[in-house]
Amino acid sequence: MVQADLSIDRITRSHRNRFTSVRLDRLVEYRENPEWVAAAQNSDAARFVPLWHSRSLLAVSDEGQVAIYLKPGELNHLDAIQPPTLLGTDGKRYFFAVSINDSQREEVLARHPEAQFIDLRRATMDMDAKHAGVLAYAKALHYWQHRHIFCGVCGSPNRLQSSGHKLVCINEECARQTFPRIDPAIIVLITHGNACLLGRNAHWPPKHFSTLAGFVEPGESLEDAVVREVYEEAQVRLSKLRYVSSQPWPFPASSMCGFYAEADSRDCAVGDELEELRWYTVDELNAAVMEDSLRLSPPVSIAFRLLADWYHKQCGKDLEQLVRKARGLKRR
């Protein structure tokens, strides 16, 4: 059955996804109040989330990865064209995202020798959930700001407003406003009886299989996108589908909408995007992970969560423990 763990409500389930635990008051009511924002930015409670080429600053140790926030005074020349973006407050600190240039990067790394600028996608589950969420939020805005430098209508430069949450064309006759953009995508675990379907994209690392996923097209509902993508990628017809939870996925700008779906049968065939499809029962999944013929998406992904919840429902066990055990064996 597709009925996965229903013992928790949807909000709780969604909060278990990586990058959802931001828990900041976004202070929307202050975004248009430059005096208030300037005072917050100059206060001792200000913390800056530095982004260099879309990479986040993390201290790396044996215990995992820790987000590094810069204090006021640590950055001398804040960017006048891309001023700090107000993210929000956790009740103790005001968080701002800030873009830094190459020379600022050198200064920051000299002051924080334990830290590196890392692609957040490579951050592990060991990283504190709240801070992973703050970094993902900052990264998403940074990416949008840097890819909408010019107005899409008249080509004039855009200027940041609303404390970083709006871009406005400087050409007064145009004055087009642009807001942060998110690309919705669906991701779906297909099941039939006691098995689930995983696919392999030819561009992925060897042995990597995952749930099926794809972007939602204009003029299409999320549900229609699931039905279309599954047929395009696997030639599978679905009898039931159910929304599960979502995940911000700023790599670069997606919002992943997770579903479970039940297939009519186990008949399937690869389309243009995939090179292989496989059905796995729990026993087959256990064996494949342990013998290292199957590698799953990282636990930070909703792909892993969808599969792990299905796995837990089937056998009462924790998929992450299985993966860790298999990795331990591999290292020996």
Residues that bind Zn ion (CB under 5 A): 151, 153-154, 156, 169, 171, 174, 176
Complex with Zn ion: residue 155 or 193, whichever CB lies closer:
155
* Residue closer to Zn ion (CB basis): 37 or 169: 169
Q: How far is the CB of 167 from Zn ion (least distance, A)?
A: 10
Closest separation in Å from C-beta 154 to Zn ion: 3
Minimum distance of Zn ion from residue 81's CB (angstroms): 17
For residue 271, count other CB atoms closer than 10 A to its CB.
Answer: 15
Eight-state DSSP code of residue 177: E
For residue 50, whether the previous peptide bond is cis, meaning omega lies within 30 degrees of 0, is no
CA distance 65 to 85: 24
Residue 113 half-sphere exposure toward CB, CA atoms < 13 A: 0
Q: How many CB atoms lie within 10 A of CB 285?
A: 24
Give the per-residue SS3 of 85-117. EEEEECCCCEEEEEECCHHHHHHHHHHCCCEEE
Nearest distance in Å: CB 159, Zn ion: 11
Burial of 18 (0-12, 13-18, 19+ CB in 10 A): buried
Residue 150 or 231: the one with the smaller Cβ distance to Zn ion is: 150
Q: What is the token pair recorded at 158? A: 């855009």
**Whether 141 contacts 85, CB under 8 Å:** yes
Nearer Cβ to Zn ion (176/312): 176
Q: How far is the CB of 155 from Zn ion (least distance, A)?
A: 7
Residue 286's H or E segment, with its range, is helix 282-290
Q: How far is the CB of 168 from Zn ion (least distance, A)?
A: 9
Min dist CB 79 to Zn ion, Å, is 22
Nearer to Zn ion, 6 or 153 (CB): 153
Residue 209 is classified by DSSP as: -
As a whole number of angstroms, the distance between CA 180 and CA 158 comes to 13
Can you read off the two tokens belonging to residue 136? 């993902």
Q: Considering the complex, state which of residue 152 and residue 193 has its C-beta at the smaller distance from Zn ion.
A: 152
Nearer to Zn ion, 28 or 154 (CB): 154
